[in-house]
Amino acid sequence: MKSKLIFNIIFLLAFCSKDNKICEEAYKDELAGNKSKALYLYSTVLKGNPKHGFANRRTGFLLSESSDSIYVAIYHLEMAKKENPDDLEVATKLIDDYVLAGQLEKMRKMLNLEGEKFPPETLRFLENLYLCITDRKISNDSTVIKSILSYNNPNTENIIYRSKAKCLKRVGLDKEADNLQEKYTNYKVKNKL
């Protein structure tokens, strides 16, 4: 009985260690710009361990880059969120993907459930973003839009810039939206993200 327990512990540690090593290699590939290889390695981990938080997180972030895979990205990000409920980057990316997928009720639910975890200025920005996307009466000179335009937190904005750009385009601020998308697209290319 005792030897079986020791064997199971050793097997579990080896299994987790193997997955983490594969994830480490995948992340290095991702940073080097080899996103296809990184996705392949993350999927290898997820085949054996579908709840692996880091593999789901990174798969979700990578798949979020294409509107063609947004729903699969949401699935992986939701799995990552279950494994690490306090990860605000995942929560922010989920909000971004919910906007892009038109799942605004899920965005609202996320803000209601997770709102107190965000810094106050980030929460205010996300709530104003929700208003911008959902309230057709908001104009480009409203306090909501002014608040969205003045929000400047690169750690959040680089995750949610597409939703912010969608909001700005909705109120006729196409130039600002295009500048924002160009800024972060160039940032990703320059930094191989």
pLDDT tens per residue across span 101-137:
999 999 999 999 989 999 999 999 999 999 999 988 8
Q: Is the pLDDT of residue 192 over 90?
A: no
83: which residues sit within 8 A by CB, 6+ positions away?
A: 51, 52, 53, 56
Q: Where are the alpha helices (DSSP H) in 49-87?
A: 53-63, 70-83
Q: Per residue in 47-74, pLDDT tens?
A: 999 999 999 999 999 999 888 999 999 9
Q: How many CB atoms lie within 10 A of CB 162?
A: 20
Q: What is the pTM of this model?
A: 0.83
Q: Of 20-24, 137-141, 147-151, which range is least confident?
A: 137-141
pLDDT band at 141 (very low <50, low <70, confident <90, very high): confident
